[in-house]
Amino acid sequence: MAKKLQNMTQDERIAYWENQRAKERADRWRRMNHLTHDQRATVLDTQKLLQEMLDTALDVDMGGIKAVTVYDLQKLQEMADKLHYHFNMGSDENS
């Protein structure tokens, strides 16, 4: 029987939580590997675009949110459309 968390030593708890994080990472990796190539590319491209836009919008030295252009928003809309297509989001009319 597994030892209860509250009865573990500090070192055992550290090892336990590291093991839990490793299992979660492996599970996320397994789920990503079940995606098709196009689905995976869409998810990764969307994450990259969002991070770039957030870096620009939140960087006061670069002008902050005022530095996000309409072109950036159009790219974001295109990525949203791809997500909707690849993951059947939204109504059938838009898919």
Residue-level pLDDT, tens digit, the chain, 95 residues: 578 888 999 999 999 999 999 999 999 999 988 999 999 999 999 999 999 999 989 988 878 888 888 999 999 999 999 989 988 886 655 44
Question: Rounded to two decimals, what is the model's pTM?
Answer: 0.65
Amino acid (1-letter code) at residue 57: A
Q: How many Cβ atoms sit within 10 Å of the Cβ of residue 42?
A: 20
Structural domain that includes position 28: 8-89
Q: Retrieve residue 18's tokens.
A: 């590291």
Number of domains in the chain: 1
Classify residue 29 by burial, with Cβ atoms within 10 Å: 0-12, 13-18, 19+: exposed
Report CA 32 to chain centroid distance, whole Å. Answer: 11
* C-beta pairs of 68-75 under 8 Å, 24+ apart in sequence: 75/49
| Residue 48 included in any domain | yes
